[in-house]
Structure 1
């Protein structure tokens, strides 16, 4: 995939995404996707892909994100494909340096609102994680499964208010949903960092295999 790496710089990726998302918001095009068409969704989805304990082929995930950024006047799908792959590669490199494109913390209740940065990131992460969860299932040692589950819960928590209700009901907790949301939000950056570190550690132990 080295031919994609130099296609767009990191800053060029952000500028081009901004241009495309703005243009799409001004058109009547119906996006056939359950994902919010914004930058936080893309960041959340690619966070899950990039932190997987193996290199994931773009052919396994491009179909989920292309509808969010492809313009009606794109002559070829390769234009948007090039942009997404370039950006994912930049995110992967930034992860190694512990630089993560996380949503602004803000308020927990605001973060649960559809289309907010937190909600969009968590929604994107959930979709991305679902796409590559089988990789984790195969590679994660049983003794680390609990840690993985905790990280995924935190990172996908704000995708829906149902997550808080279901968790509290299962745990028979007396916390109110908004109290749980505050706790998860406070732990969000740490959960993201631990998830990346866990993926890198598991990948290193497995010999850094690529999955296609």
Structure 2
């Protein structure tokens, strides 16, 4: 059984996400509707409009209100259906806002340098998905200037950067996971392999599909 995963957006702009799903035997589907998809992958991108989480602009660079509204609606739709949701970078932020959380709008020291990702360590919470996949401490790639602040309802913080920046969130009961780094472009020797995350996500989506078919 091949599991279909919705990735909002255009395939030509998100090839690494498509490749990450293909490598684990899944079928990435691109567009704006989740019909027939067992899970939702929210990719990286630009800033959400801070008005969506009740704040003035304090250093955000919002630019695509249509995308904001679509991804928030899809996150809420999949979560309400109990379908697995994985958020990467901006995707973590979409999940957090969809569940009523807020964002830190302009963080120093986490964005790319000269067009390349920064690398820094994170510490994962005991019992978290991140710890199960990569251990309690490991390096990640960093290419963002925003992150979760107050976590949304039903979310717990499961990884932190050395400066206290939230690097991962997990649902306490819902099948939802968010990572501020980019596992779709993580590989040895400098970084751990990001592939196990996508393998885990596909397994969860396949299990949900079996339960509902």
Q: TM-score, normalised by structure 1?
A: 0.28
Q: Choose 1 or 2 for highest CA Rg.
A: 1
Q: TM-score, normalised by structure 2?
A: 0.28
More helix by share: 1
More strand by share: 2
